[in-house]
């Protein structure tokens, strides 16, 4: 009752004033979202033939412009949009990472050299799978360029997510990011039923998770009388009583975000969606959503709920251990490489949670480094998955990867590098990332959590290495897939992913310094 | 005190000395068959350019005053971990300079010789790639300005040596010899790495300047430990007792390799290490004494083995052991001996390379037969090889005015300066040298022809004989040149220190006694092997000969003391690994696999069950929060 009274009071006295907006600070997000609108207009008015080159130009110019705008904000540390957005070091690094990963993701999505029928997307998403329409559209060589509008909106949402500084903005960002992804997930050219099922599952469960978030946000507002993270933190520090309300609120809000990072027990959508979605979309989603959602989770927990850390760290302990082990153990028995990588991404989310649980500057740095390293590796993994094919499209069953090392030593070696990075072997980025979060958690006194994480890493090593063994130490047979030669798009993305994976393993210091110099979240 | 100069002018090319052969090795080893045609010439070219740069540097260095002959070049910060800071930095001083010259000039000659010697080998390109790799690593070893970088070169030459010994790995003996050399060298390498660790703990640095500048702060016990560890390292690399067993087997490699790596350069790395670390040995008397003892033992072992072997290369290998024994004992004598150790190292590098290449030339003409009992009377068949080999023989025996005389005599003199017993022993070893070298020359070039059927000895091509001639000229004049014109003592003195002591015996008397004994040994060898018939099958011989043929039972000792216990240990470990470790691993794999299979059904694909699990998760999250608050 008390809380409600405060709200009513607040509404009474606050006069309406025109919000002041600093467009320089908003530029990165505005560029991308604006380009999304332009992309829709292009889709509506341009003739079919020129859409692809125009859209691709728009996307890449936009992303590079957004990257420049982010870099331009280097050193800024203030809030924008009446406190709704926080432009600070970690936020900008995460934004920059999202943009760079989006560029690589766009390169994968633009690929048309792998599938004999065109790109990875259905000729017309509206046609019924298996129908005469579908055959017609495919035969006529129709393509969907609408994906680029969705893509740009999703990127805009992802860039907004880690800098959202109040509950409402965070929710909006969450939805702007998610809705286009639900659609993109359902547009696979092959195995369309699986893809559509995945999209529907993703959408329904995502909506469900959003409901959690929204309900929790409402309760937090009810408790503190504000949606701003700073004021929530202040009222958590000053107010007592209403314990049940605040605990339920935290639980629900955090659960909503944990869904997006794929933490157990909110993880069950991950394998289905990763498997069903078009592989380039999976790669982009797996890499970029992790960055954005972890950024949001970190800001939410560190800034808004930092005062309650003694309440939520044990809960995250449990979630983290559960996530690592569920991901690692279930990956052991997967026979489909996309599902296996999906479970691996669940396990990796568990590892990154160690950096969150540390609740320290070191933990923040470690988590950010891990996210960036992981994102590049993941893009590379899915780039290769999209290249390994048989006559039915991508050959995702593991048995088809047997002996791949004999037939395509270069690709198999690159895949091995990515697997080593995901395992966390030295001289790859994965090792530095694991070391950073593990040591941060250890320094914060979470010894047992680190031991659990090491055990989970050991279990995970088994299934990563299994692919390597399969590729190199098994004789090829007539089932073995062949590696399609990609165009320049996938080649660039793959080369970049492999280079960064090795480079961050050999000379991690520049990036570590960059992250360390970025400081902590603005309060 | 030495002043450290920045590497300007020609000295700014220091890095290039290493980079050139390294690039050569990379190109030759990674480029594939396309480079087969011109690859070997590239290999020769890189070392040749290195030799020119080295000579240029020598001239520039001689232009500076004695205190200004140390040049240092810092490339970049190599390692930075806690207190350990190591730079990729090179240092060229008088000691490094003579090594650089030896490596590049002798290296060039051997590269050229190899063009002829290896001309029919299908893997010629690979061979030159390995040779280039060796030169790069050896230059890194002598140019490093800290022990850690030296260690990189040390391991690099070990690797190159391994690759080249087992170059003809189709032969099981060559493959085994390569492994043997590598493994025995590891023992020495462990010594070096431990020495570096002790240095870091004691001095907080592994740089030469820092370590040598602060020896007074360390206790003598620590310094003795470092010295003994360095001696172990030197023994491994220089085939000194008790790690000598690999060198004889290493003769399985192509003969140019034996000349370059196992006579002139790599095996002298141990002498370099001891001389370079003179500040440590000067402050650790016990370690220095151990060096002398090891040197003396090896000097005799090598000489005895060299006297009994019928394989020309193994006989030369024994001789190499013996001569390096001389150098090591000289280095152990302290400031009276360092410069002469290096002096003998240089002259030996030249005449022994010549002898090995001469042996290679003989083998080339004898269908690769190495058994001297099937040689004989070759002096007419191969005139150039004969003449150059004899010059090398006279040089190693220490006959004036050949270069070996000056350097060996200096060592004998220095030995008398510090200990009469050691002095007498060096003279006796010199007499044995006279015997086995005469025996080798007599069995090969004199007496009756004992050739196998179908062998038609012929002189080698010019590409092989010209290096022989150049090395023979070096074997003749280098001693005089270095001693009287080059003033080797004053040249090296700023780095190693030098002192001269008076001895009771006058110089001329010492030389005369030595020469008489050497000639006596030579005469005995001549009577035995040139005058009398040499039997085709070796006679049984006395116990010493039989022992020497077995490398003085070096392998048997290693086998009993090291190999057999290792086998037992490894059998135990295999059992332990199989039943305990694997049992645990397989058990846990089965456990988690089973767990995985049991959890899989919960991933049913039904959206309702997923949603239920999310609700359960949310409840779990809230419950966890509440529980924490309640507790």
Per residue in A176-200, pLDDT (tens digit) is 999 999 999 999 998 999 999 999 9
Question: Looking at residues A474-502, what average pLDDT do you find?
Answer: 93
Best to test chain A binding among B80, B588, B596, B616 (most A CBs inside 10 Å): B596
Q: Say how many domains are in chain A.
A: 1
Identify the residue whose tokens are 């909006």. Answer: A172
b/e burial code for range A53-86 (CB count within 10 A of at least 16 → b): ebbbebbeebbebbbebbeebeebbebbbebbbb
User: How many residues are given for chain B?
Assistant: 631
Model pLDDT, residue B275: 92
CA–CA dist B13, B488 (Å, integer): 25
Is the Cα torsion angle B565, B571, B574, B578 positive or negative in sign? negative
Using CB atoms, which residue from A258, A266, A315 is nearest to B625? A315
B91 sits in which H/E element: strand B84-92
Tokens in use for A233?
Answer: 């933190």
**A vs B: CB pairs below 8 A:** 88
Report pLDDT digits (tens) over B432-486: 999 999 999 998 888 888 888 888 888 888 888 898 999 999 999 988 888 888 7
- With contacts defined as CB-CB under 8 Å, which chain A residues touch B592? 329, 332, 459, 462
Q: Any chain B CB within 8 A of the CB of A241?
A: no
Using CB atoms, which residue from A201, A209, A251 is nearest to B622? A251
Is the Cα torsion angle B546, B550, B551, B552 positive or negative in sign? negative
Model pLDDT, residue B196: 92
- With contacts defined as CB-CB under 8 Å, which chain A residues touch B618? 212, 251-252, 255
On whether the CB atoms of residues B264 and B157 are closer than 8 A, the answer is no
On whether the CB atoms of residues B167 and B130 are closer than 8 A, the answer is yes
Sheet with A482-483, strands from edge to edge, namely: A393-394, A388-390, A482-483
Q: Which residue of B has its CA nearest to A207?
A: B611
CA–CA dist B146, B91 (Å, integer): 9
Q: Do B628 and A208 touch (CB under 8 A)?
A: no
Kind of pairing, strands B4-6 and A78-80? Answer: unpaired
In the predicted model, is pLDDT for residue B175 greater than 60?
A: yes
User: How many residues are given for chain A?
Assistant: 523
- Report the range of poorest mean pLDDT among A98-102, A177-181, B105-109, B535-539: B535-539
Residue A49 domain boundaries: 2-9+21-518
In the predicted model, is pLDDT for residue B286 greater than 80?
A: yes
- The CB-side HSE value for A72 (13 A sphere, CA atoms) comes to 12
Q: Do A330 and B600 touch (CB under 8 A)?
A: yes
Question: Looking at residues B269-286, what average pLDDT do you find?
Answer: 91
Kindly write down the DSSP assignment for every residue of A306-350, as one continuous string. GGGHHHHHHHHHHHHHHHHHHHHHHHHT--BHHHHHHHHHHHHHH
In the predicted model, is pLDDT for residue A440 greater than 90?
A: yes
Q: Which residues contact A357 (CB under 8 A, 6 or more apart)?
A: A313, A316, A317, A320, A363, A441, A444, A446, A449
- CA-wise closest residue to B163 among B37, B261, B22: B261
CA–CA dist A239, A242 (Å, integer): 9
Please tell me the distance in Å from A317's CA to the nearest CA on chain B.
Answer: 10
Please tell me the distance in Å from A208's CA to the nearest CA on chain B.
Answer: 8
Distance between start and end Cα atoms, chain A: 28
Taking the model in full, what pTM does it have?
0.71
C-alpha to C-alpha distances, B226 to B148, B218, B234, B496, nearest whole angstrom: 14, 11, 12, 18
Asked, for residue A231, whether it belongs to a domain, the answer is yes
Asked, for residue A15, whether it belongs to a domain, the answer is no
Q: Do B596 and A272 touch (CB under 8 A)?
A: no
Using CB atoms, which residue from B596, B605, B618 is nearest to A212? B618
In the predicted model, is pLDDT for residue B80 greater than 80?
A: no
- With contacts defined as CB-CB under 8 Å, which chain A residues touch B629? 243, 247, 311
In the predicted model, is pLDDT for residue A67 greater than 50?
A: yes
Tokens in use for B255?
Answer: 């003969």
Q: Any chain B CB within 8 A of the CB of A247?
A: yes
B80 sits in which H/E element: strand B70-81
- Angle of helix A192-224 relative to helix A167-185, nearest 10 degrees, comes to 170
Q: Kindly report the CA angle at A66 between A63 and A67, in degrees rounded to 5? A: 85
CA–CA dist A270, A252 (Å, integer): 20
- Quick one: pLDDT band at residue A11, thresholds 50, 70, 90? low
β-strand partners of A213 = none
Asked, for residue A523, whether it belongs to a domain, the answer is no
Q: Any chain A CB within 8 A of the CB of B81?
A: no
CA–CA dist A316, A322 (Å, integer): 9
Report pLDDT digits (tens) over B338-396: 999 999 999 999 999 999 999 999 988 888 888 888 888 888 888 899 999 999 999 99
Instruction: Specify the 3-state DSSP secondary structure of A29.
Output: helix
Q: Which residues contact B8 (CB under 8 A, 6 or more apart)?
A: none
Q: Which residue of B has its CA nearest to A328?
A: B596
Distance between start and end Cα atoms, chain B: 73
Model pLDDT, residue B347: 92
> Helix, strand, coil shares of chain B as percentages rounded to 5?
75, 5, 20
The most confident of the ranges A374-378, A391-395, A400-404, B604-608 is A374-378
Q: Do B624 and A271 touch (CB under 8 A)?
A: no
Q: Any chain A CB within 8 A of the CB of B592?
A: yes
- CA-wise closest residue to A441 among A426, A463, A456, A459: A456
In the predicted model, is pLDDT for residue A217 greater than 60?
A: yes
Question: Looking at residues B101-126, what average pLDDT do you find?
Answer: 88
Kindly write down the DSSP assignment for every residue of B553-597, as one continuous string. GHHHHHIIIIIHHHHHHHHHHHHHIIIIIHHHHHHHHHHHHHHHH
Alpha helical stretches, state H, A89-131: 89-109
Q: What is the CA radius of gyration of chain B?
A: 29
Model pLDDT, residue A304: 93
Q: How many other CB atoms are there within 10 angstroms of residue B542's CB atom?
A: 10
- CA-wise closest residue to B277 among B199, B186, B189: B199
Tell me the backbone φ, ψ of residue B240, rounded to 5 degrees.
-100, 155
Q: Which residues contact B227 (CB under 8 A, 6 or more apart)?
A: B277, B280, B281, B284, B286, B287, B288, B290, B291
Tokens in use for B437?
Answer: 């070298």
Identify the residue whose tokens are 């085939």. Answer: B239
Q: In percent, how much of chain B has pLDDT > 90? A: 39
In the predicted model, is pLDDT for residue A12 greater than 70?
A: no
Q: Do A318 and B624 touch (CB under 8 A)?
A: yes
Report ipTM for this prediction: 0.89
Based on DSSP, count helices (H) and strands (E) in chain B, helices before strands. Answer: 27, 3
CA–CA dist B410, B503 (Å, integer): 13
Q: Do B596 and A266 touch (CB under 8 A)?
A: no
Asked, for residue A14, whether it belongs to a domain, the answer is no
A384 sits in which H/E element: helix A361-387
A7: exposed, middle or buried (Cβ count in 10 Å: 0-12, 13-18, 19+) = middle
Best to test chain B binding among A246, A249, A255 (most B CBs inside 10 Å): A255
On whether the CB atoms of residues B232 and B292 are closer than 8 A, the answer is no
Q: Which residue of B has its CA nearest to A266?
A: B614
Instruction: Specify the 3-state DSSP secondary structure of A442.
Output: helix
CA–CA dist B491, B94 (Å, integer): 7
Q: Any chain B CB within 8 A of the CB of A455?
A: no
Model pLDDT, residue A1: 44
A28 sits in which H/E element: helix A23-45
- DSSP one-letter code for B451: P
Model pLDDT, residue A118: 85
Q: Which residue of B has its CA nearest to A329?
A: B596
CA–CA dist A188, A125 (Å, integer): 8
Report pLDDT digits (tens) over A30-44: 999 999 999 999 999
On whether the CB atoms of residues A363 and A437 are closer than 8 A, the answer is yes
Q: Do A205 and B611 touch (CB under 8 A)?
A: yes
Please tell me the distance in Å from B151's CA to the nearest CA on chain A.
Answer: 22
C-alpha to C-alpha distances, A131 to A125, A191, A197, B541, nearest whole angstrom: 12, 13, 17, 97
- CA-wise closest residue to A95 among A42, A160, A179, A141: A160
C-alpha to C-alpha distances, A435 to A86, A349, A366, B368, B404, nearest whole angstrom: 29, 15, 8, 57, 59
Q: Do B625 and A243 touch (CB under 8 A)?
A: no
CA–CA dist A27, B298 (Å, integer): 78
CA–CA dist A180, A285 (Å, integer): 11
Q: In percent, how much of chain B has pLDDT > 70? A: 100
Model pLDDT, residue B2: 66
Q: Any chain B CB within 8 A of the CB of A59?
A: no
C-alpha to C-alpha distances, B427 to A144, B509, B514, nearest whole angstrom: 94, 13, 6
Q: Any chain A CB within 8 A of the CB of B614?
A: yes
Asked, for residue A478, whether it belongs to a domain, the answer is yes
C-alpha to C-alpha distances, A386 to A281, A373, A459, B241, B443, nearest whole angstrom: 11, 20, 26, 61, 72
On whether the CB atoms of residues B254 and B164 are closer than 8 A, the answer is yes
Q: Do A247 and B620 touch (CB under 8 A)?
A: no
Report pLDDT digits (tens) over B13-28: 888 999 999 999 998 8
Using CB atoms and an 8 Å cut-off, which of residues 259-288 of chain A contact chain B?
259, 264-266, 268-269, 271-272
Identify the residue whose tokens are 């290896």. Answer: B118
- CA-wise closest residue to B175 among B157, B161, B188, B162: B162
Instruction: Specify the 3-state DSSP secondary structure of B85.
Output: strand
Tokens in use for B334?
Answer: 């302290």
């Amino acid at each position: 009752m008390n809380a409600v009274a405060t709200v009513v009071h607040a509404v009474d006295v606050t006069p309406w004033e025109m919000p002041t907006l600093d467009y320089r600070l908003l530029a990165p997000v505005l560029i991308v979202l604006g380009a999304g609108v332009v992309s829709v207009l292009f889709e509506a008015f341009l003739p079919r033939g020129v859409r692809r080159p125009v859209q691709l130009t728009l996307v890449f110019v936009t992303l590079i412009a957004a990257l420049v705008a982010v870099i331009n904000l280097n050193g800024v540390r203030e809030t924008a949009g009446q406190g709704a957005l926080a432009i600070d070091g970690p936020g900008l690094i995460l934004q920059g990472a999202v943009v760079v990963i989006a560029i690589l993701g766009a390169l994968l999505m633009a690929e048309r050299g792998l599938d004999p029928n065109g790109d990875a997307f259905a000729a017309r998403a509206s046609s019924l799978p298996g129908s005469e329409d579908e055959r017609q559209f495919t035969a006529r060589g129709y393509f969907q360029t609408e994906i680029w509008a969705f893509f740009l909106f999703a990127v805009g949402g992802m860039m907004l997510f880690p800098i959202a500084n109040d509950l409402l903005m965070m929710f909006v960002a969450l939805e702007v990011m998610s809705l286009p992804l639900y659609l993109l997930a359902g547009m696979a050219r092959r195995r369309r039923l699986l893809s559509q099922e995945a999209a529907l599952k993703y959408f329904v469960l995502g909506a469900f998770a959003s409901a959690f978030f929204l309900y929790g946000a409402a309760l937090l507002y009810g408790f503190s009388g504000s949606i701003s993270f700073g004021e929530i933190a202040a009222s958590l520090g000053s107010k007592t009583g209403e314990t049940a309300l605040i605990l339920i609120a935290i639980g629900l809000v955090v659960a909503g975000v944990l869904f997006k990072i794929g933490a157990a027990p909110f993880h069950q959508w991950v394998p289905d969606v990763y498997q069903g979605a078009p592989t380039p979309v999976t790669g982009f989603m797996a890499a970029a959503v992790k960055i954005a959602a972890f950024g949001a989770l970190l800001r939410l927990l560190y800034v808004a709920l930092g005062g309650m850390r003694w309440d939520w760290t044990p809960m995250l302990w449990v979630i983290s251990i559960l996530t690592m082990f569920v991901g690692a153990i279930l990956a052991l028995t997967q026979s489909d490489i996309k599902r296996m990588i999906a479970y691996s991404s669940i396990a990796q989310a568990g590892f990154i949670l160690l950096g969150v649980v540390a609740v320290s500057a070191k933990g923040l740095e470690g988590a950010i480094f891990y996210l960036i390293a992981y994102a590049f590796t993941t893009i590379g993994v899915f780039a290769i998955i999209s290249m390994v094919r048989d006559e039915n499209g991508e050959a995702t069953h593991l048995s088809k990867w047997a002996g791949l090392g004999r037939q395509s030593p270069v690709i198999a070696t690159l895949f091995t590098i990515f697997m080593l990075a995901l395992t966390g072997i030295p001289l790859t980025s994965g090792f530095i990332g694991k070391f950073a979060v593990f040591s941060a958690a250890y320094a914060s006194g979470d010894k047992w959590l680190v031991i659990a994480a090491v055990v989970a890493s050991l279990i995970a090593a088994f299934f990563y290495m299994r692919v390597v063994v399969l590729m190199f130490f098994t004789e090829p047979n007539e089932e073995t897939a062949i590696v399609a030669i990609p165009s320049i798009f996938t080649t660039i993305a793959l080369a970049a992913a492999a280079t960064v994976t090795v480079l961050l393993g050999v000379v991690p210091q520049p990036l570590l310094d960059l992250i360390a110099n970025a400081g902590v979240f603005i309060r | 005190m030495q002043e450290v100069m920045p590497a300007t002018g020609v000295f700014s090319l220091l890095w290039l000395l290493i980079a050139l052969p390294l690039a050569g090795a990379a190109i030759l080893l990674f480029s594939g068959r396309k480079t087969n045609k011109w690859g070997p010439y590239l290999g020769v070219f890189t070392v040749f350019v290195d030799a020119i740069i080295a000579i240029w540097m020598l001239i520039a260095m001689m232009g500076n005053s004695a205190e200004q002959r140390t040049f240092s070049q810092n490339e970049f910060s190599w390692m930075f971990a806690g207190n350990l800071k190591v730079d990729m930095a090179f240092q060229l001083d008088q000691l490094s300079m003579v090594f650089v010259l030896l490596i590049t000039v002798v290296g060039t000659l051997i590269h050229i010789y190899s063009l002829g010697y290896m001309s029919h080998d299908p893997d010629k390109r690979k061979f030159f790639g390995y040779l280039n790799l060796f030169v790069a690593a050896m230059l890194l070893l002598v140019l490093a300005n800290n022990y850690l970088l030296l260690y990189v070169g040390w391991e690099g030459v070990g690797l190159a040596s391994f690759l080249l010994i087992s170059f003809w790995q189709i032969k099981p003996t060559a493959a085994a010899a390569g492994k043997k050399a590598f493994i025995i060298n590891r023992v020495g390498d462990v010594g070096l790495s431990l020495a570096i660790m002790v240095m870091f703990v004691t001095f907080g640095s592994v740089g030469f300047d820092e370590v040598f500048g602060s020896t007074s702060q360390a206790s003598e016990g620590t310094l003795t430990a470092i010295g003994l560890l360095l001696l172990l390292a030197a023994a491994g690399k220089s085939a000194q007792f008790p790690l000598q067993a690999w060198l004889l087997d290493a003769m399985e490699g192509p003969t140019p390799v034996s000349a370059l790596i196992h006579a002139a350069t790599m095996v002298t790395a141990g002498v370099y290490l001891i001389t370079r670390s003179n500040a440590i040995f000067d402050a650790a008397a016990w370690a220095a004494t151990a060096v002398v003892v090891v040197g003396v033992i090896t000097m005799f072992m090598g000489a005895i083995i060299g006297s009994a072997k019928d394989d020309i290369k193994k006989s030369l290998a024994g001789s190499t052991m013996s001569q390096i024994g001389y150098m090591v004992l000289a280095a152990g004598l302290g400031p009276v001996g360092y410069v002469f150790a290096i002096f003998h190292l240089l002259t030996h590098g030249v005449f022994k390379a010549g002898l090995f290449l001469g042996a290679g030339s003989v083998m080339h003409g004898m269908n690769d037969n190495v058994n001297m009992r099937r040689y004989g009377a070759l002096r007419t068949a191969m005139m150039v090889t004969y003449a150059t080999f004899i010059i090398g023989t006279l040089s190693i025996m220490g006959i004036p005015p050949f270069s070996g005389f000056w350097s060996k005599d200096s060592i004998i003199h220095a030995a008398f300066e510090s200990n009469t017993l050691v002095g007498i022993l060096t003279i006796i070893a010199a007499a044995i040298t006279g015997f086995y070298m005469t025996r080798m020359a007599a069995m090969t070039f004199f007496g009756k022809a004992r050739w196998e059927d179908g062998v038609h000895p012929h002189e080698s091509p010019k590409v092989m004989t010209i290096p022989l001639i150049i090395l023979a000229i070096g074997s003749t004049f280098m001693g005089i040149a270095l001693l009287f014109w080059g003033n080797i003592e004053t040249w090296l003195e700023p780095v190693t220190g030098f002192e001269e002591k008076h001895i009771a015996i006058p110089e001329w008397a010492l030389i005369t006694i030595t020469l008489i004994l050497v000639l006596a040994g030579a005469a005995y060898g001549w009577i035995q092997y040139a005058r009398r018939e040499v039997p085709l099958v070796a006679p049984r011989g006395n116990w010493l000969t039989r022992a020497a043929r077995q490398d003085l039972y070096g392998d048997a000792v290693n086998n009993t003391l090291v190999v057999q216990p290792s086998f037992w240990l490894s059998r135990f470990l295999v059992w332990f690994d199989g039943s305990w470790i694997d049992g645990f691993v397989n058990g846990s794999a089965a456990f988690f696999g089973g767990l995985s299979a049991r959890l899989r059904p919960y991933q049913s694909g039904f959206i309702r069950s997923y949603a239920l699990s999310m609700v359960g998760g949310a409840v779990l999250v809230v419950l966890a929060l509440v529980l924490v608050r309640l507790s």
